[in-house]
Amino acid sequence: MNKGKVIIYTGEGHGKSSAGLGCAVQKAAKGEHVVIIQFLKGKGVCETEFIKNLEPEIRIFRFEKSDRDFNMLSSEQQEEELMNIRNGFGYARKIMSTGECNLLVLDEVLGLVDTQIISAEDLAALIENKPEEMDLILTGITAHDEICKMADEVNRIEPVTYE
């Protein structure tokens, strides 16, 4: 069996989540099982419903209840969502312990470290517990050095402007 990789998509540009989804579709096309857990995006009913058409090969989860992006919520609403987000991170730990998929995509998980919902140490511990054969993709704007050092591949996506 192949050794699974840890891949990070980071940077200010658009396309990090799309890159993770593209990898998910490639794995699913090979008959492998994929779990995607999205954070800090709200429910995003339209996107989620479309991706659900790819079940059972690709399963997508969002634990947040609000329709709005986490950063757009009031502090009271953010407090309510914190428990839901932490439940999502706990579910990621469960996926790691059961090894129930070939690829786990944690979309915008790096933002959880930025917003101090989880610590870099929490995320590092999750990575360390990755089953040998599972691939893990992490996305988010900011990648911390200690997390990047644990990755097999780090991809920075940035906008480029030409004059």
Domains of the chain: 6-156 (3.40.50.300)
* Helix (H/G/I), strand (E/B), else coil: 145: helix
Tokens (6 digits) for 161: 């402007």
Residue-by-residue pLDDT tens, the chain, 163 positions: 468 999 999 999 899 999 999 999 999 999 999 999 998 775 554 566 677 777 888 999 988 777 777 778 888 888 888 899 999 999 999 999 999 999 999 999 999 999 899 999 999 999 999 999 999 999 999 989 999 999 999 999 998 888 8
Task: Return the bridge partners of 38, or none.
Answer: 62, 107
- For 2, which DSSP code? P
- Please, are residues 108 and 27 in contact by the beta-carbon 8 Å criterion? no
* Helix (H/G/I), strand (E/B), else coil: 21: helix
Distance CA 28, CA 48 (A): 17
Q: SS in 3 state form for 43-95?
A: CCHHHHHHHHHHCCCEEEEECCCCCCCHHHCCHHHHHHHHHHHHHHHHHHHHH
Distance, first Cα to last Cα, the chain: 48
